Amino acid sequence: MQTVIEQERGRFDQQRRRTYQIAGSLGVLMVAIDIVKQSLDHTQPLVVRLVYIVNDLFLIAISLFVVWLVTTRRGKLTTVERLMFIVFAAESLLFNGIVPPLLGQTLALRWEQTVNDDIWFLFMICTLGFHLFRHRASVLIVTSLYGLSVIILGGQILFSMPHEPLEPGLRSLQVYGMGAIFLCFIYIVSRYRAQTQRLQIEYELMEEWAFVDMLTGLANRRRCEQVLQEATARYQRYGEPFTICLWDIDHFKQINDTYGHEGGDQILRQMARLARTMIRSTDFVGRWGGEEFFLLLPCTHLAEAEQLADRLRHRIMEHIGLSDHVVSASFGVAEYHPSDDQTSLLARADSALYEAKSTGRNRVVGAELSPSFG
């Protein structure tokens, strides 16, 4: 499950990087257009145009820097995002709020700037804030930023009275009010998405725990039976052969009596790790119960399965043990036959395992077909 979560996080990070690459490139284009517009707008004083052009060049530099960071993967993505948030929040407060009135911006021009770009730039920053920070922190930061923007606009309206018509300023306030409602919906959607993802992860964890043996990390008996049923269905539909193997740790009770249950648990975990290294990617291994394990080998006949089981038997003696105690195991192997069902196949494998244990242990026994199957 952890691997799946990491893979999902990696895909999401890749999507974020692509989004920032596209958004940064479009931002550079939009700011370049604004530079051209400022250069051609001779209704504004030269000093005002120069201030905005210099700021636009700064924004282009920042945008290109961000695109370079996310493309070359320099630094953590969250660090780049927080840098973007700080710079753009400061830009919004300064050049969409404080600086324009100081440079003689009228309420009419403020209304034009609000609907053209100011409010959209602020929406972008607030949406990024909801994404970057945790629940309460994001609400506090976004509310503070948006509230300061509204306060600055309100201050401009108050100081413009009674020299200018108030209608453009009130329109701007109305847009900011509607924008606040829009941000509430963005917040609700972001919280809903986060809640949905959390519930999905919890569901997947519960689903995985239902099929995983918590001691060894292998599939549990319920999952083994499910896989066996699927293999049986494939045989009946496509004729795909398969063989199962049941094996049991020899004298496991003595191990528990000598080393305690913690020693026995250690042996079981060692067995699980070894089994994972021995099987093919298409094979399936699980804990059948107690000290007994289950192995399903697709597209494998009895003779080949016996050879694999014997290799595993030798590796167990070489690599599993406690102190000077050498661990061994007994194996029962059975290939699926058209006359079989799940119950008869398991019974034949279990009988072969019983024979291996009753004839001296530490051996592999292949199950023969009962005469009734003839």
45-95 tens-digit pLDDT: 888 889 989 999 999 999 999 899 988 888 788 888 888 899 999 999 998
User: Does residue 151 sit within a domain?
Assistant: yes
Helical residues (DSSP H) of 239-301, grouped into ranges = 252-278
> CA angle at residue 360 from 359 to 364, to 5 degrees?
75
- Residue ending a domain, among 176, 208, 240, is 208
Higher pLDDT, 84 or 3: 84
Please indicate, yes or no, whether residues 40 and 185 belong to a single structural domain of this protein. yes
272 falls within a domain: yes
- Same domain assignment for residues 229 and 194: no
Residue 45 lies in a domain: yes
Supply the residues annotated as catalytic.
291
Q: pLDDT tens digit string along 185-224?
A: 888 888 887 788 778 777 777 777 788 998 999 999 999 9
41-50, 166-175, 265-274: which is most confident: 265-274
Share of the chain above pLDDT 70, in %: 96
One domain for residues 128 and 253:
no
**Is residue 241 predicted with pLDDT exceeding 80?**
yes
| Domain end marker among 208, 237, 265 | 208
Round to whole Å and give the CA distance between 146 and 181.
12
Q: Is residue 216 part of a domain?
A: no
Q: Kind and range of the H or E element at 221? A: helix 221-238
Residue 256 and residue 314 in one domain: yes
Q: Kindly state whether residues 196 and 145 are assigned to the same domain.
A: yes
pLDDT band for 364, please (50, 70, 90 cuts).
very high
Count of domains in the chain? 2
Model pTM above 0.75: no
Rounded CA separation 69/373 (Å): 69
> What angle separates helix 77-93 from helix 135-160, to the nearest 10 degrees?
20
C-alpha–C-alpha distance, residues 105 and 117, integer Å: 15
The predicted structure's pLDDT at residue 9: 72
The Cα–Cα gap between 165 and 171 comes to 11
Range of the domain at 307: 221-373
200 and 266 together in one domain:
no
Contact 111, 172 (CB under 8 A): yes
Residues 197 and 235 in one domain: no
